[in-house]
């Protein structure tokens, strides 16, 4: 058979066209297969729940409201994820705290979080208030994953259970999550067998590198370091898409560089919801909503029943009346951690009243809890345990006047003043401010605070000894005498402060004699209220703040 040249040319072009069509079809298939359409996300958050497993009364914007609790969190979270292609429910830590932690060891909190649908949590410092083994036991009841990139554990279960990072494949998107614990962990927590890498910037950079190597679409840091360090983290570690923060109990939605930072307050009064679309690796049109967890959000009936069973059991064990107060008792952080409080005065006075012969009582503001004015009226053991949930033992110590003066100067450094040129790592922790009895003094916030280099709970070098505190006088009988730098004073502190907690390194000096009393702060306060019922404490100027 013979073909002319034109026929051969036509067949050649038909073959070329056929190949081209096949190539185009294959290319279209590949493009359609690999194209990743925008995906809508709902990132749902809580922070610093502090064992508030049921609703509680509080004041918001001048209104008295009943808010919070896991039943409402679960209901609001279900509504928040409607319409989203993917969602995550995250906690940034401090979900456990006494007295519920003391009574049930963290079990109801873990059950409640699991039932509400949490997927990942970072631990906070209060998770370790009863030690690493209690936290480990609590986690055995948790149906969510736990992440902490800068923590190391001796406890075998915690080594296995707490991950450096976690990856979630949500549809065709990969979410990489890492967690950070506060660098102040050693100073604010009693846990043994736990260490924390304080260089959070280096840790975070390494985790971001791991996330990029894993081809993550989103990198999320769940942090328990406070808003100031969240901002520093975002500024110094490129590649973090979202920081879900906690520890400082603030409300925040801001962007530093390309990093979104969110915080949703404390105790579960609000649910944080960050909505956005992920398109070609970019977060598009983010929006932040704080959902007030009042009665309008509804409640999961099953979770509500379980949580109320635990709460009732705690009330049964701690609900007996102790006495009553004729005035409100000021436990607000702004009062007990930055000045004189009538409640702080009463607690310190209760110690001096209980321990005959003691000269001075020093009570850390961080040991006084509730962040509210407890209303006038009946006081129960539950109230006392809520006010002082850590049940620290009161210790008698011997301090020279010079050591006492240094301790008061350290206490004054806990108050932050803008421009005082003292980073958090170089001063006493915020909760280390002291409420006092048996001593009075002046604090001048215009003067320089103590500033030192901390090595764990001790200080390796003092940069500035500070000069905020002056006019220190100690009560002797009915007189107030100037402090004697050589004289030894019988000083009451809790076991936390005596161990150098919050940065009170003076008590780690080998010359400081410490004597246990086997009496706990809650019991001493309860005894004082019973004896002086009804109580009506008021401030008397023992801390003259200027």
Q: Provide the CATH number for the domain around residue 89.
A: 3.60.21.10
Q: Is residue 14 part of a domain?
A: no
**Cα–Cα distance between 335 and 24 in angstroms, integer?**
72
DSSP 8-state assignment for residue 535 = B
Q: Is residue 334 part of a domain?
A: yes
| pLDDT-based confidence at residue 3 (cuts at 50, 70, 90) | very low
Shared domain check, 246 and 134: yes
**Cα–Cα distance between 259 and 375 in angstroms, integer?**
41
Q: Is residue 1 part of a domain?
A: no
Count the neighbouring beta carbons within 10 Å of the beta carbon of residue 137. 16
What is the pLDDT of the chain when averaged over all its residues?
92
For residue 231, is it left (φ>0), alpha (ψ between -120 and 50) or beta? alpha
**Cα–Cα distance between 527 and 113 in angstroms, integer?**
36
| The domain boundary residue, chosen from 269, 291, 310 | 310
Instruction: Kindly state the tokens that stand for 193.
Output: 């067998």
Shared domain check, 340 and 205: no
Shared domain check, 209 and 116: yes
Shared domain check, 239 and 342: no
pLDDT digits (tens, 9 = 90+) for 282-292: 999 999 999 99
- Report whether the peptide linkage leading into residue 186 is cis, meaning its omega lies within 30 degrees of zero: no
DSSP 8-state assignment for residue 281 = T
- Residue 354 is predicted with a pLDDT of 92
Shared domain check, 54 and 98: yes
Q: How many domains does the chain have?
A: 2
The stretches of 35-69 forming alpha helices (DSSP H) are none
- Residue 10 is predicted with a pLDDT of 56
Q: Is residue 296 part of a domain?
A: yes
| pLDDT-based confidence at residue 23 (cuts at 50, 70, 90) | very low
In CATH, what number is assigned to the domain containing residue 447?
Answer: 3.90.780.10
pLDDT digits (tens, 9 = 90+) for 87-105: 999 999 999 988 899 889 9
Shared domain check, 329 and 268: no
Q: Is residue 11 part of a domain?
A: no
- Residue 11 is predicted with a pLDDT of 54
Shared domain check, 369 and 269: no
CA neighbor of 334 nearest in space, from 467, 433, 449: 433
Inform me whether the pLDDT recorded for 46 exceeds 90: yes
Q: Is residue 273 part of a domain?
A: yes
**Cα–Cα distance between 435 and 536 in angstroms, integer?**
17
Shared domain check, 333 and 303: no
The stretches of 83-240 forming alpha helices (DSSP H) are 100-104, 107-116, 132-139, 156-161, 185-188, 200-213, 227-236
Shared domain check, 341 and 256: no
Range of the domain at 231: 39-310
Shared domain check, 181 and 49: yes
- Residue 315 is predicted with a pLDDT of 85
Q: Are 490 and 359 in contact (CB under 8 A)?
A: yes
| The domain boundary residue, chosen from 251, 278, 310 | 310
Q: Is residue 279 part of a domain?
A: yes
- Residue 449 is predicted with a pLDDT of 96
SS3 labels along 262-302? EEECCCCCEEEEEEEEEECCEEEEEEEEEEECCHHHCCCHH
User: Three-state DSSP class for 468?
Assistant: coil
- Residue 36 is predicted with a pLDDT of 55
| The domain boundary residue, chosen from 243, 276, 310 | 310
**Cα–Cα distance between 151 and 132 in angstroms, integer?**
12
Q: Is residue 34 part of a domain?
A: no
Q: Locate tokens 């009161």: which residue?
A: 394
Shared domain check, 370 and 233: no
Shared domain check, 329 and 297: no
Convert 489-502 to b/e letters by CB count within 10 Å (16 or more is b).
Answer: bbbbbbbbbbbbbb
């Amino acid at each position: 058979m013979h073909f002319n040249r034109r026929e051969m040319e036509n067949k050649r072009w038909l073959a070329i066209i056929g190949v081209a069509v096949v190539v185009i079809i294959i290319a279209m298939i590949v493009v359609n297969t690999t194209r990743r359409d925008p995906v809508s996300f709902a990132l749902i958050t809580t922070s610093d729940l502090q064992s508030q497993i049921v609703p509680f009364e509080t004041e918001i914007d001048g209104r008295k409201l009943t808010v919070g609790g896991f039943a409402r969190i679960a209901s609001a979270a279900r509504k928040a994820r409607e319409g989203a292609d993917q969602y995550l429910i995250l906690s940034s830590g401090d979900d456990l705290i006494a007295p519920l932690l003391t009574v049930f060891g963290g079990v109801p909190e873990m059950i409640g979080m699991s039932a509400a649908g949490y997927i990942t949590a970072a631990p906070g410092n209060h998770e370790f208030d009863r030690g690493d083994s209690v936290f480990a036991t609590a986690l055995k009841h948790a149906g969510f994953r736990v992440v902490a990139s800068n923590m190391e554990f001796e406890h075998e279960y915690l080594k296995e259970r707490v991950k450096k990072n976690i990856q979630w494949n949500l549809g065709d998107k990969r979410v990489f999550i890492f967690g950070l614990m506060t660098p102040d962990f050693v100073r604010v927590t009693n846990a043994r067998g736990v260490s924390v890498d304080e260089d959070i910037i280096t840790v975070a950079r390494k985790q971001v590198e791991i996330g990029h190597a894993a081809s993550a679409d989103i990198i999320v840091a769940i942090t328990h370091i406070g808003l100031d360090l969240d901002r520093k983290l975002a500024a110094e570690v490129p590649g973090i898409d979202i920081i879900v923060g906690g520890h400082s109990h603030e409300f925040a939605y801001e962007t530093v560089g390309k990093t979104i930072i969110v915080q949703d307050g404390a105790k579960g009064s609000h649910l944080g919801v960050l909505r956005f679309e992920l398109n070609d690796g970019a977060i598009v049109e983010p929006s932040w909503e704080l959902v007030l967890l009042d009665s309008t959000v509804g409640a999961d009936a099953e979770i509500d029943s379980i949580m109320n069973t635990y709460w009732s059991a705690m009330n049964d064990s701690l609900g007996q009346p102790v006495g009553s107060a004729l005035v409100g008792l000021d436990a607000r952080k702004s009062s007990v951690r930055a000045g004189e409080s009538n409640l702080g005065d009463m607690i310190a006075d209760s110690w001096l009243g209980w321990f005959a012969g003691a000269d001075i009582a020093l009570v850390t503001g961080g040991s006084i809890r509730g962040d509210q004015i407890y209303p006038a009226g009946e006081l129960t053991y539950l109230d006392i345990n809520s006010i002082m949930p850590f049940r620290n033992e009161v210790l008698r110590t011997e301090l020279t006047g010079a050591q006492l003066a240094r301790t008061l100067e350290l206490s004054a450094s806990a108050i932050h003043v803008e421009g005082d040129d003292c980073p958090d790592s170089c001063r006493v922790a915020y909760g280390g401010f002291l409420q006092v009895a048996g001593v009075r003094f002046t604090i001048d916030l215009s003067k320089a605070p103590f500033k030192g280099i901390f090595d764990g709970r001790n200080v390796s070098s003092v940069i500035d000894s500070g000069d905020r505190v002056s006019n220190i006088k100690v009560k002797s009988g009915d007189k107030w005498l100037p402090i004697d730098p050589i004289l030894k004073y019988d000083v009451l502190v809790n076991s936390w402060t005596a161990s150098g907690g919050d940065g009170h390194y003076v008590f780690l000096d080998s010359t400081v004699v410490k004597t246990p009393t086997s009496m706990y702060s809650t019991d001493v306060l309860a005894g004082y209220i019973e004896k002086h019922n009804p109580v009506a404490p008021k401030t008397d100027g023992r801390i003259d703040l200027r």
